[in-house]
Chains A and B, each alone.
Chain A
Amino acid sequence: MTPSPIRDFVVGLFVLVGLGAVAYLSFQVGGLSYKGPVGFHLVATFGEIGGLKVRAPVVISGVRVGQVERITLDSNLRARVLLDIDPKLKLSVDSTAAIRTAGLLGDQFVALVPGAEEEYLKSGDQIAYTESALGLESLVSKLVTGLGSGGSGGGEEKK
């Protein structure tokens, strides 16, 4: 075989680009990630999670700070959602976790609303205040009842 340094280099480059594409698809797009030994996890329990899925984003004020790690059913038959969150964040113990929908029909995600307490949540803690997912129909019914009671409307929550 004729030794050809240029050909070898080009093939090496091709392999690197190819592996780069594999890595991009696996880690960035596919979400495969190396879990460090100290992950920061919070637990939130919801009565209804709607269409929330594993790997759905977790946001604070619209900024992505983590993702849904696991969804299980707890002993009271409520949805127990494990959130994987940026460990640098300091969330006070009275923070709220709410399941929201992107747009009218879009994907669901978890929005965290920070509280005011001086005490902060530690990894593994449970978020006390949660808001379940609002299905389109419950949204409509809330709207209807809200109108019926003469309120100013707005299907937004009340804890």
Chain B
Amino acid sequence: MRVRSIEAIGARTLGFVSELGRMAFFAGHVALTLVTRRPRPGRVVQEIYDVGVLSLLIVCGSGLAVGAVLGLQGYNTLVRFGAAESLGAVVGLSLVRELGPVLTGLLVTGRAGSAMAAEIGTMVATEQLDGLRMMAIDPVDLVVTPKAVAMVFAMPLLSCIFTVTAIFGGYLVGVVLLGVDGGNYLTSLESAVDFENDVAGSLLKALVFGVLVGLIATFRGYTSKPTAAGVSQATTSTVVVASVSILVFDYFITALWGM
């Protein structure tokens, strides 16, 4: 019994490593089509529409809500020390450094990453990708790369939009509702947040998350089993794997960037 469970652990480890290898190979394939094939602006624009524009509503809505909560919590804590003027700094720093890119990454994973995996998975199941291959068209070039590129491009933009709406949400609660001075809020925000340490790191995080979600979603869809169950499995595992990787990578970027 014990031997068998150890065997299972070994098999899982091997499976994980070879999955990583396949994914690296896949990423190489995507990168290669990016360099060697002619670009497809029409398709990329369509995908940015799907990933970016269609995610805008939930990103803005969540941003507003998160900012409002931060404003409320921050105010309640700060006011005990008579430091309510620093509300802008608290809201801004936590948003720019962590919450903006991380929450946007998670939201986009759920909204667009899963849809991406499901769409490619369905194309596998209905033999559309085989159809392309038979027409001597590389499905990675035509279908996968535009999606991955759109994700990498849209994520930093969405993350910044999220952060700005959240700062506004904090302003609404802190200044309009709770009576912190509006000038103080913005001044403390602007003097606390720094470009090199905070904003650049935030953009880097969003970019890395975009690469992660784009690759994981397309890879899961591309390698899904050609059945309905296979497609749903690909969708679920995209959300799980991408979310966990975002959180893990967030730690490492924070540690390495010195944020």
Contact = CB atoms under 8 A, between A and B. Distances in A.
Q: Is there any pair of Cβ atoms, one from A and one from B, under 8 angstroms apart in the complex?
A: yes
Interface of A: 1, 3, 7-8, 10-11, 14-15, 17-19, 21-22, 24-26, 28-32, 53, 55-57, 64, 67, 102-107
A24 B166 CA distance: 13
B41 to A, nearest CB: 9
Q: Does more than half of chain B's interface fall in helix, strand or loop, or is it mixed?
A: helix
A35 to B, nearest CB: 13
Nearest to A31: B195
B190 A29 contact: yes
A56 B89 CA distance: 13
Contacts of B53: 10-11, 14
Contacts of B46: 1, 7
B99 interface: no
A29 B49 contact: no
Interface stretch (B123-131, B157-165, B250-258): B157-165
Interface of B: 40, 42-43, 45-46, 48-49, 52-53, 56, 81-83, 85-86, 89, 92, 96, 154, 156-158, 160-161, 163-164, 167, 184, 187-195, 198-200, 202-203
Contacts of A107: 86, 89, 188, 191-192
B96 A57 contact: no
A10 B164 contact: no
A107 B93 CA distance: 15
B191 A55 contact: yes
Contacts of B42: 1, 3
A11 B48 contact: yes
A106 B191 contact: no
Contacts of A8: 45
Contacts of A55: 191, 194
A25 B96 contact: yes
B190 A103 contact: no
Nearest to B188: A107
Contacts of A15: 48, 52, 157
Contact of A7 (B45, B158, B187): B45
B157 A11 contact: no
Contacts of B184: 102
A104 B184 CA distance: 15
A11 B52 contact: yes
Contact of A22 (B52, B81, B160): B160
A25 B202 contact: yes
Contacts of A22: 156-157, 160, 203
Nearest to A12: B45
Given A18-B160, A21-B161, A30 B198 contact: yes
Contacts of B164: 21, 24-25
Nearest to B183: A64
A2 to B, nearest CB: 9
A30 B193 contact: yes
B199 A29 contact: yes
A1 B42 CA distance: 6
A29 B45 contact: no
Contacts of A26: 195, 199
Interface centre among B53, B184, B192 (most CB of A within 10 A): B53
Contacts of A56: 191
